Structure 1
């Protein structure tokens, strides 16, 4: 169990495919602020059918993409 489990479940339940969340939204959903450890934890997202496409520090946005199931 990681500190981002709530966020991963939220993302897995998204049925719209690719989308973006602000750093603030991620903090609210996860219950913890987004920090540098996110880079280490983001690989867990693969288990939920998504991956991080881009992290924009300038815009404070993370873009998530749905992994095609083959």
Structure 2
């Protein structure tokens, strides 16, 4: 079980199509601070029908794409 399962389930249940979430919104949905391990765990999101398309450190957002 991944520490980001809560976030993945939130995305699956609440979003469709392509969308952006701020780092703050991700932390709120995940119930924990986002850290470097997000890069390792992001591949699990495909099991929920989405993928991480782009991470913007400048804008502090993550773009998600529905598969």
User: Aligning the two structures, in what range does the TM-score lie when normalised by the shorter sequence?
Assistant: over 0.9
Cα RMSD for the two superposed structures: 0.9
Structure 2 runs not aligned, ≥5 long: none
Number of positions where the alignment pairs a residue of Structure 1 with one of Structure 2: 67
* Within-5 A mapping of 1:1-70: 1-67=1-67
Aligned to 2:14, what secondary structure does the other structure show? coil
For 1:16 and 1:44, the matched residues in 2 are separated by: 17
Higher mean alpha-carbon deviation, 14-23 vs 55-64, is at 14-23
Deviations 1:15-54 (A, max 9, x none): 4311110001000110011100000000000000000000
TM-score between the two structures when normalised by the length of structure 2 = 0.95
Gap change, CA 1:27 and 1:15, over 3 Å in 2: closer
For 1:42 and 1:63, the matched residues in 2 are separated by: 12
Structure 1 runs not aligned, ≥5 long: none
